[in-house]
Amino acid sequence: MRELDSRDANGIEVTLFWNERTDRVLVSVVEEYSGDRFTFVVDAVNALDAFNHPFAYAVDSGAAGGWPVISS
């Protein structure tokens, strides 16, 4: 897994990953104060937009509803 980019603002850390083996792109979001997190797969063509707007994409993927922990 290769980290492509990351950012941290207002206690929310967003990281963009690329899995070389599967050629999948993932966005990981961590709320640093509570430790809540979610991760979702995104199409490569939407990777930068999903990195910049993770909650919009997570809602579409079903990952962000109630901040479920689907990745550690």
Backbone phi, psi, residue 12, to 5°: -115, 120
Rounded average pLDDT over 38-65: 83
pLDDT computed for residue 2 by the predictor: 96
| pTM score of the predicted model | 0.80
pLDDT at 69 over 90: no
pLDDT for the residue 55:
87
In tens, the pLDDT along 24-48 reads 999 999 989 888 888 999 999 999 9
Quote the percentage of the chain above a pLDDT of 90: 64
Bridge partners, residue 5, by sequence = 16
CA distances, 64 to each of 4, 37, 54, 68 (Å): 21, 9, 9, 6
Based on the number of CB atoms within 10 Å of its own CB, is 10 exposed (0-12), middle (13-18) or buried (19 or more)?
exposed
